[in-house]
Structure 1
Amino acid sequence: MVAIHPVVVALLPLIPSALGQTCATINPVNAATFASGYEGPRGIIFDIQGNLLTAEQSSYGLRYIQLTDNGGTNICVRSQKQLVADSSLNHGIALTPDGKKLFASSKTTVYSWDYDGTTGTVGNKKTVVTGMSTSGHVSRTLLVPKTQPNVLLVQVGSNGNLDTGAAQASSGRSQIRIFKLADLEAGSKAYTTGELLGYGIRNNAGIAEDIHGGIFSVNNGMDDMTVNGKDVHNTNPCEELNYHGRINDTSSPERGKSYGYPTCHSIYDPSVLPSPFNTQLKVGDTVTNGASSSTCTRVAPKLCFPAHTAPLDLKFNSGGSAAYVTFHGSWDKTPPDGYRVSRVAWNSQTGQPVASVTNTSAAQNIMYNANNAACPSGCFRPVGLAWSPSGKLFLSSDATNEIWVIGGAK
């Protein structure tokens, strides 16, 4: 069962139902599934007509869902169909702001289609980005920024837990690159030919744009961490919120810079470090894996989240006062942690989080399992987030094959 803040009560049991047969009645402090029976839903987006598109990882491809939203009191699936049948697609999905160009990704390739949201149809598939790593983290997050809609951002994670080659930007791993849409229309491009937005980010699966055009990502830190021979992995390193500058500002000091991986890692719990680091370091400070405290030339994170909670998506509300983060949950931690959706207070004027990097309470949990004992395989595991045209926050849960809608998120 799933609980939601501020009422903190268990809501709907995660019982499979026929897709298209469930309606969700919601209120400002509630959440509900409106349909289940998907096939590992990951990335989700709304088109400008208000239809929901999903990228599903279990050999399904992309789905097109028409919704009925009656004044915000109930939501139903009116119809749904397979939009693209492609078993290689596994996570990433994006639309241009005009709703006419659709992008989706496999582990090696980004594809595009001409898209018609009214009819729910696509044109011929076109290969636009090639040559991405085939091992390790295989999800590829995609984003077309609203403030610079003529580019596509493409993320690639590491090829393993500690990918030493990712220290080099030329590796094409653990980084975000920028591609001009006009160049992609002219022909496919190798991933490493894109402009480097940032690198040294182990697996920044969630990328979002704030109201000022600032690009932020949430990063999954390494597993099995040791410092000077001591195992500190259960509560370290932190999962990071990183800032990459404003997408339309090529002079941003963060542009093209390293965020430290695989050498430098941000501490979440200094108390478990060996002496003297347990008293010298604070949350967000840097250590070198397997070694000691290190001064690294890198862009430091803006926030630290608990270790191994696996943030996978990030979305800002329309006023820029909050960011929402999905935490897919841990496998490398006892007891299991994550499996929740959290809200981070944001300063809409500065375009930065309200809390400092040392604040371990910046993420306020709003939706989570009442009990994580069945995790990771038998519980709610959020992945993708999307705002509907009417201002409701939707999210996918791949482990339970569901799409949820949260009432009152703002």
Structure 2
Amino acid sequence: MSGLTMSSGYFTPPPYADAEYTVLPGTVVNATHYSVTALCKGCTYWAPFGNEPTSLDPNGENYLAFAYSGVPVDDPAANETTFGIHERVGHWMHNFEPAQAADFESWAGGDSGGEPPVNTVTRTTLLTTFSTSTFRSTTTLQTTVTSTGFPPGGSATTTASASSSTATSSVIASSAPVLPVPSSCSGVNSFRFGYQTASGWKAVKLAGSLTGPRGVAVDSEGNLLVVQSGKGVTVHTFGPNGCISSTKTLISNPSLNHGIGFTPDGKTLYVSSMTTAWSYTYDPKAQTVSGQTVVVKNMQQGGHPTRALLIPPATPHLLVIQQGSYNNFDYESLNKAVARAVVKVFDMRSVPSGGYAYASQGWLLGYGLRNEVALAADGNNARACLGFDADVEPYRIWGVENSGDDFARTVNGQSYDIHNDNPAEELNLLGDPSKPNEQWYGYPTCFTVWEPSVITDKSFKIGQQFVVAPTAHSAPIGAAFDRTFQNLYMTLHGSWNRSPATGFKVSVVPFTKLANGSYDPVAAADSKTGYTDIFWSTNVGSCTGSTCFRPSGISWDRSFSRLFVASDNTAEGELFMLVKS
């Protein structure tokens, strides 16, 4: 497949609007071969946000890459389409100098013996069988799932049941009015994919046609901010009917891909790309930002791209940022100094000029955490900000981890597959962010058991190492406590590495306050029923990255009654609202 997309990291590349693509004479597609001759204007020079301009060298070697899938794309004619899974990726060095020709300008103008060029387009795709044998070298690095979509097969239904939970949670003071819950929003198309809700819950679609919506946050005026991966941050204002009444771009930065958060007073906004975290002064009434400042720099270029962030309510001068592993088994991350597969903390009261260097500055809040994308502060931390009794220690941060893929167990030289139900995802207690946590959480050599029966050489229990173990390959990437901290809501993005599939839903983990004032999940560590589902894709077991909604960001509104959830399926990015019915 050839097309016009551009990515700033390890995630689905959105269409690249600054390029113009022309298929020239000489392009051939048949049953066995694919040869394309094309002209791409605007493809050789670009300036990533916050970084030095980059260009291809016409007179030397360039570092290029490919991705291969045996599964066809959903819509070969659409530039925004994508593979449901990348089975192989690889890199090679390509020397551009021999490709130069004296007749280039003539060819680019379509002079090929009278045959005109194919129409210039900004989304052209040709699809045939693809071979990697022409490249100098390849690697067998597994990649994360990418997502596309098809039209829904039917209307939503309400089935099943789940334990009820208390209302919502917030730490930003607000004068935002309590808005009604609409049955639907005018001008918003129907749910792209089928869904179900638990008894007592209702789902409303607030917006569609977004670009990879990921992290979400609500400001002190009740406006919803959304990171649209590959685009930037948009702000969405609600009308008196509870639906979105206006939308504007707040920050235009295509390198932003997930992280977003406010200080408790709502005046400082933090966002992150794969390599950099920025702070802005934020005006919620005008919906404007100013004073862009780099606060953390030099995060890993490559590997898992998200840099989820959290501002602990009890210590709002601290910024917590996670960085995932470089690949499935990142053994270099065993060295804490590498600062991959970690969560770190930085003091925003003393940011050095140019920002903190991620690997060498700040302090650890745990390492051996493969990809701790979902972060949340528990009741003690948030209650201190809300004016409740703040004398109870510790003020604790929790993380939900995406664990490993493609597991086999080797016994006496023989390997057998255990990957379908192992390892479990993890809900980890990271602790008080004001104090360094040098604890190792196991990655990349120790993992959590979800299904012990398939491991036949030894006797294991479910989740021996950790507090709660969600189903293997659920891919949790967002978390938010309710107001009373009796429930932790999680978005489970879904994964390609299990059959039948799992994830593609929003679940809730019940919590309880212990006698010493700390919070813990109700379920035991060896429980498979430590959480319940409240919003999920129809026929979850057959979901792929292209056929179901994919929950990503999650946040409560200021009225403590509406739970906002984003879905970043590339067929259509959507925003939902979940409420108690």
What TM-score do the two structures reach when normalised by structure 2?
0.62
How far does residue 148 in structure 1 lie from its aligned partner after superposition?
A: 0.8
Alpha carbons of structure 1 residues 222 and 89: separation in structure 2 relative to 1, 3 Å: same
Contact 1:144-1:153 within 8 A present in 2 as well: yes
Instruction: Tell me which residue corresponds to 1:304.
Output: 469
Contact 2:345-2:433 within 8 A present in 1 as well: no
Contact 1:382-1:395 within 8 A present in 2 as well: yes
Instruction: Tell me which residue corresponds to 1:21.
Output: 187
The one-letter amino acid paired with 1:66 is T
Instruction: Tell me which residue corresponds to 2:513.
Output: 348
Alignment of structure 1 residues 5-404 onto 2, 5 Å: 6=160, 21-22=187-188, 29-57=201-229, 59-68=230-239, 70=240, 74-184=241-351, 187-192=354-359, 193-213=361-381, 214-228=396-410, 229-248=415-434, 250=435, 255-275=437-457, 277=458, 280-285=459-464, 300-349=465-514, 350-372=518-540, 373-391=542-560, 392-399=562-569, 400-404=572-576
Secondary structure at the aligned position of 2:430 is classed as strand
How far does residue 256 in structure 1 lie from its aligned partner after superposition?
A: 2.3
The one-letter amino acid paired with 2:469 is C
Contact 1:112-1:128 within 8 A present in 2 as well: yes
Q: Distance in 2 between matches of 1:244 and 1:156?
A: 14
Instruction: Tell me which residue corresponds to 1:405.
Output: 577
How far does residue 167 in structure 1 lie from its aligned partner after superposition?
A: 0.9
Secondary structure at the aligned position of 1:37 is classed as strand
Q: Distance in 2 between matches of 1:218 and 1:170?
A: 23
How far does residue 2 in structure 1 lie from its aligned partner after superposition?
A: 5.2
Secondary structure at the aligned position of 1:376 is classed as coil
Deviation per residue, 1:332-373 (Å, 9 max, x gap): 111111100001111034411000111111110111011233
The one-letter amino acid paired with 2:502 is D
Q: Which runs of 5+ in 2 are unaligned?
A: 1-154, 163-184, 191-196, 382-395
Q: Distance in 2 between matches of 1:79 and 1:259?
A: 44
Q: Distance in 2 between matches of 1:168 and 1:3?
A: 49
Secondary structure at the aligned position of 2:349 is classed as helix
Secondary structure at the aligned position of 1:380 is classed as coil
Contact 2:550-2:567 within 8 A present in 1 as well: yes
Contact 1:2-1:369 within 8 A present in 2 as well: no
Q: Distance in 1 between matches of 2:530 and 2:157?
A: 19
**Number of residue pairs aligned between Structure 1 and Structure 2:** 372
- Over the aligned positions, Cα root-mean-square deviation in angstroms equals 2.1
Q: Distance in 1 between matches of 2:376 and 2:422?
A: 25
How far does residue 115 in structure 1 lie from its aligned partner after superposition?
A: 0.7
Q: Distance in 2 between matches of 1:348 and 1:56?
A: 36
Secondary structure at the aligned position of 1:386 is classed as strand
The one-letter amino acid paired with 2:309 is L
How far does residue 246 in structure 1 lie from its aligned partner after superposition?
A: 2.7
Alpha carbons of structure 1 residues 336 and 143: separation in structure 2 relative to 1, 3 Å: same
Q: Distance in 2 between matches of 1:284 and 1:312?
A: 19
Alpha carbons of structure 1 residues 96 and 20: separation in structure 2 relative to 1, 3 Å: farther
Instruction: Tell me which residue corresponds to 2:122.
Output: none
Alpha carbons of structure 1 residues 31 and 137: separation in structure 2 relative to 1, 3 Å: same
How far does residue 20 in structure 1 lie from its aligned partner after superposition?
A: 8.0
Q: Distance in 1 between matches of 2:161 and 2:345?
A: 42
Q: Distance in 2 between matches of 1:348 and 1:318?
A: 13
Secondary structure at the aligned position of 1:234 is classed as helix
How far does residue 3 in structure 1 lie from its aligned partner after superposition?
A: 5.2
Any runs of at least 4 consecutive aligned residues in structure 1 with deviations exceeding 6 A, and if so which? none
The one-letter amino acid paired with 1:282 is K
Q: Distance in 1 between matches of 2:213 and 2:529?
A: 29
Secondary structure at the aligned position of 1:124 is classed as strand
Secondary structure at the aligned position of 2:242 is classed as strand
Secondary structure at the aligned position of 1:105 is classed as strand
Q: Distance in 2 between matches of 1:20 and 1:90?
A: 29
Per residue, is there more strand in 1 or in 2? 1
Q: Distance in 1 between matches of 2:558 and 2:201?
A: 19
Which 10-residue stretch deviates more, 344-353 or 259-268?
A: 344-353
Q: Distance in 2 between matches of 1:348 and 1:385?
A: 23
How far does residue 80 in structure 1 lie from its aligned partner after superposition?
A: 0.9
Secondary structure at the aligned position of 2:397 is classed as strand
Q: Between the two proteins, what is the percent identity of the paired residues?
A: 35
Alpha carbons of structure 1 residues 7 and 353: separation in structure 2 relative to 1, 3 Å: closer
Deviation per residue, 1:85-130 (Å, 9 max, x gap): 0011111011111111111111011111111111000003211111
Contact 1:142-1:153 within 8 A present in 2 as well: yes
Contact 2:189-2:208 within 8 A present in 1 as well: no
What TM-score do the two structures reach when normalised by structure 1?
0.86
Alpha carbons of structure 1 residues 343 and 125: separation in structure 2 relative to 1, 3 Å: same
How far does residue 53 in structure 1 lie from its aligned partner after superposition?
A: 0.4
Contact 1:309-1:330 within 8 A present in 2 as well: yes
Contact 2:201-2:534 within 8 A present in 1 as well: no
Contact 1:227-1:274 within 8 A present in 2 as well: no
Secondary structure at the aligned position of 2:291 is classed as coil
Secondary structure at the aligned position of 2:351 is classed as helix
Q: Distance in 2 between matches of 1:49 and 1:319?
A: 22
Q: Distance in 2 between matches of 1:4 and 1:166?
A: 44
Q: Distance in 2 between matches of 1:4 and 1:259?
A: 39
Q: Distance in 2 between matches of 1:5 and 1:181?
A: 46
Q: Distance in 2 between matches of 1:337 and 1:374?
A: 8
